[in-house]
Chains A and B, each alone.
Chain A
Amino acid sequence: MNLYEMSAAMLARKLRNKECSSQEITQSVLGRIQAVEGQVGAYITLTPEQALETAKQVDKRLAAGEKLAPLAGIPIGIKDNICTKDVVTTCASKMLHNFVPPYSAYVVRQVERAGMPILGKLNMDEFAMGSSCENSHYKKTKNPRDLTRVPGGSSGGSAAAVTAGEAILALGSDTGGSIRQPAAYCGTVGLKPTYGSVSRYGLVAFASSLDQIGPLGRTVEDVAMLYSLISGYDPKDATSVNRTYTDFVAGLNDFQVNGLKIGIPKEYFGDGVDQEIKEKVLAAIKLLEKNGAEVKEISLPSTDYALSAYYIIACAEASSNLARFDGVKYGYRSGKGEGLTEMYEYTRREGFGDEVKRRIMLGTFVLSSGYIDAYYKKAKATQAIIADEFRAAFEQVDLIMTPTAPDTAFRIGERSADPLKMYLSDICTVTVNIAGLPALSVPCGEIGRGLPVGLQMIAPHFGEDLLFKAAHYYEKISGLRLADVAAL
């Protein structure tokens, strides 16, 4: 088995036992990138020298007997909307083609402090707007399980890199499903953490009240390790929650499924969801039930309104968040036009892709005078109702389980012409962001010719611990070889 195929937990043990060095691990992953990146296209920017330098430092410190963080020496890829000091951060947009941040995001500093070699910046849908990674200005990332298909999005580069062995771990961001849906499409594990548990400082904002940075990895344990590193209170993010964040790895194996109450919301198993996916997900839940869990059908009646409310709130915030990209201070500036207003117009016309422009216009409309009450304020009211329904549901059950996505990875180009159909990919995931809840996608089998299906587990606020335990337990009993790197 190659080093790049191993889980972070395994590699961390090997490092401590001096069975290999961080430089060897990093070289192995860089070699894999060299071999398959041409086919997968997961990265926008690669930083191999920087990664090897970090690995070298870690090896030195380990040799000196220093006690390092659990993930020290394990290479990671970072989604390209997370700021990295001195390394270009494009958000997969032409608009930021030359933007080199003078500071690093909170999570990047955590990763650096832990001694994780950073391999590079991962492809995504432009400004995290999309469900297929096709909205990148730079390249289309392919699904490593089937190169004719999309890896999902917007964190498609993150999911693809982890799946292809081009990174051991990756950071993504999730505004409406952008970690979980690509994790499901690629057959890997992804967590959208509780809103406020991971600092957003340094994440280029799409929709501030919904965005959350989260980990992707090939096993639940790996994801729990990375979450333990990046979660925590950050006074630089006013929405960061000041509480005690524990280590989420230690108790993973102690979990007993007996008595675990699982809720199945019927609204997530409706007509919009592929029949085979429903069967796979229900089979996974059945397996948990057989092992001692209690399963209960529940109802989240306002789910039908979630997608509309989500797109209104997300676009409203995006229209404001993306207004700063105007050609004045950094990034792309058009040479066309005369005077300030035309400079703005041409810069934004040429610098943004179609999907981004569509959402800015939508957002501008729903906030404009005369329409804000009918759209934005209604959507905020809907948000409150949806959050309440979850709260009520969690009085009856410990976890809610649903499909992560209504379908499996679709073919590249298949939905590009139909934005509404593309928006439907988020139907099972957006409610979690609207309610600020944590949710994890774990593979629960394949359909057709090896297309992965994701099982979404949703917990109450700050219920990550239970998510990891239940998902880790499921991983063990499912007998699926989940941590496999895609064969390419």
Chain B
Amino acid sequence: MEYEMIVGLEVHAELSTHSKIYCGCKNAFGGEVNSQCCEICTGLPGTLPSLNEKVVEYAIKMGHALGCTINPVTKQDRKNYFYPDLPKAYQISQYDLPLCEQGHLDVLVEDEVKRIGITRIHIEEDAGKLLHDESFSGSLVDFNRCGVPLIEIVSEPDFRSSKEAKAYLEALKQILIYLDISDGKMQEGSIRCDVNVSVREKGSDIFGTRVEMKNVNTFSGAVRAIEYEAARQIEVLESGGTISQETRRWDDSKGVNVLLRSKEDAMDYRYFPEPDLGAIVVSEALIRQMKDALPELPNKKTMRYMREFELPSFDAGLLVENRDKARFFEACTAIGGCSPKNIANWILGDITRILRENKQELPESCITPEKLVDMVARIEKGEISNAAGKTIVEVLLAEDKDVAQIVEEKGLGQISDSSALEDLAREVLAANEKAVEQYRGGKTNVLGFLVGQCMKASKGKGNPALLREIMLKLIEE
């Protein structure tokens, strides 16, 4: 029997507001244990939460980015459960009235656009972290993460492969970064997800029993977790078993999941409206204003680059992935005068490589869009060689110099004087008679070698296209 998997994702993203969601503590990763918490976020008796309005604003931005309906009046609810990392023994979240509902995200999967439905986005607070270490017995709690603002983005069960899930997660991450609402650092736990998986016979329109998987903390982990769980379910079904509704815990290091709790042990969170906080009321005007202020989103941008500049999806994706590069690329195309494809190649090639070597970001370097366009245009016109370009880019990144100035100083102007090149070609031919013989014997690919020898003799300054032409003419003679 052929099966298909049905997957839905619940993504938790930490928002990068300056302060926490219900108190004035700094919202930052990596502080000394219990150094970024106060009586409010540690839930001391008598303390009360007051909502950081930035959190609502950030969540609405994400809602707009995912085409959601924004509810102008919503509330917050308590989700009650006991755990040592949850000092109030309830998490303030949103239950039946989320801030954003009914959106979608279009993602590119192998150059095809796939639309994923978004059920809802709500705001909530993060919990602390349990610390285990051999240097002490038992567990300790670090409350720094308590009250870090989160949005939970719940998708429809629209994924049919782990590839789609990965593309979606990557697209979400880019949007979060583009909107400047989350740093998107997986390794710091800024994005975490719960995965819901079921399988069914291909072609069926009835959903199978769903299993929820927790503790999926990387994108590649999500792919492995989904594949593993779908395979596990198929195996159970194939051997005549049934899937039971349960929650499992993904163990990324072992690549397996284990039962966390069965349906019978399902938690009753006893949600009820948070009495310490009033309704969240956002004016229609503000909602509209935020929608109008939304920047072009990375998924849309990628598709536009492919359409408008005829870039391959891979290149377009790479450019868009880094906001600085995308901005730089667009500034170059706005100046015009050379091929966007060539510009993209330089940005993604040598410039990226040199920046990486120097551990530098694009805006920190000296290069400007004007200079890059100037250089690429000169290459396209044959004034300088591609090889010279590599030297020039290096200087452009490091020093505030004009392209013309560098060409002049380094003597990189390309020799396009055909009589000079012809002299050079004759010398090379004289020194490589054997190669000439081979060519005449039918091994025409030695031409490349001969042109290369000419380039070497010209110290890279010869116009290779012109040299090739001259060489061909001389051999034929």
Contact = CB atoms under 8 A, between A and B. Distances in A.
A337 to B, nearest CB: 14
Contacts of B301: none
Given A202-B46, A204-B45, A367 B272 contact: yes
B306 interface: no
Contact of A105 (B46, B268, B275): B46
A450 B396 CA distance: 97
A323 B51 contact: no
A477 interface: no
Nearest to A340: B84
A2 B272 CA distance: 52
A324 B45 contact: yes
A209 B45 CA distance: 16
A434 to B, nearest CB: 13
A297 to B, nearest CB: 34
Given A83-B45, A368-B270, A320 B90 contact: yes
A102 to B, nearest CB: 6
B44 interface: yes
A110 to B, nearest CB: 15
Interface string A316-333: 110110011110111000
A133 B16 CA distance: 48
A340 B132 CA distance: 14
B43 A320 contact: no
Nearest to A325: B45
A89 B44 CA distance: 12
B295 to A, nearest CB: 32
A320 B270 contact: yes
Interface residues of B, number: 27
A191 interface: no
B268 A101 contact: no
A330 B87 CA distance: 10
Given A103-B39, A340-B84, A369-B268, A326 B46 contact: no
A329 B47 CA distance: 15
B141 interface: yes
Contacts of B51: 238
A410 interface: no
B39 to A, nearest CB: 5
Interface in A373-401: 376
Interface string A188-227: 0000000000001111110111000000000000000000
Contacts of B141: 328-329
Contact of A323 (B46, B80, B272, B275): B80
Contact of B275 (A91, A209, A324, A367): A209
Contacts of B276: 205, 208, 238-239
A14 B272 CA distance: 52
Interface string A349-370: 0000000000000001001110
Contact of B82 (A103, A200, A236, A323): A323
A364 B270 contact: yes
B268 A326 contact: no
Given A201-B48, A344-B82, A317 B275 contact: yes
A83 B46 contact: yes
A422 interface: no
Interface string B88-112: 1110000000000000000000000
B88 A324 contact: yes
Given A235-B50, A236-B48, A238-B49, A367 B270 contact: yes
A323 B39 contact: no
A366 to B, nearest CB: 9
A169 B42 CA distance: 32
Contacts of B39: 101-103
A203 to B, nearest CB: 6
Nearest to B138: A340
A40 interface: no
Interface in A159-207: 200-205, 207
A237 interface: yes
Contacts of A83: 45-46
Contacts of A91: 45
A99 interface: yes
A320 B82 CA distance: 10
Contacts of B398: none
Interface in A59-102: 81-83, 89, 91, 96, 99, 101-102
A200 B44 CA distance: 14
A316 B48 contact: no
B277 interface: yes
B278 interface: yes
Contacts of B44: 101-103, 330
A99 B275 contact: no
Q: Which of A82, A205, A325, A364 has the most CB of B within 10 A?
A: A205
B214 interface: no
Contacts of B84: 326, 328, 340
A126 B270 CA distance: 24
A202 to B, nearest CB: 4
Contacts of B43: 324
B268 A376 contact: no
A349 to B, nearest CB: 14
B199 to A, nearest CB: 28
B78 interface: yes
A9 interface: no
Nearest to B272: A367
A89 B275 CA distance: 23
A316 to B, nearest CB: 6
A260 interface: no
Contacts of B275: 207-209, 239, 317
B35 to A, nearest CB: 15
Interface of B: 39, 42-51, 78, 80, 82, 84, 87-90, 141, 268, 270, 272, 275-278
Interface of A: 81-83, 89, 91, 96, 99, 101-103, 105, 200-205, 207-209, 235-239, 316-317, 319-320, 323-326, 328-330, 340, 344, 364, 367-369, 372, 376
25 contacts: A81-B46, A83-B45, A83-B46, A89-B45, A101-B45, A102-B44, A201-B47, A202-B46, A205-B276, A207-B275, A209-B275, A235-B50, A238-B50, A316-B272, A319-B270, A320-B80, A324-B88, A325-B45, A326-B82, A329-B42, A340-B84, A364-B270, A369-B268, A369-B270, A372-B272
| Closest 9 pairs between A and B when the two form their complex, measured CB to CB | A323-B89, A209-B275, A208-B275, A367-B270, A204-B45, A202-B46, A83-B46, A204-B46, A324-B89
Given A238-B278, A320-B90, A376-B272, 18 more contacts: A91-B45, A99-B45, A101-B39, A103-B39, A105-B46, A205-B45, A207-B275, A208-B276, A236-B48, A236-B50, A237-B50, A323-B88, A323-B89, A326-B89, A344-B82, A368-B270, A369-B268, A372-B270
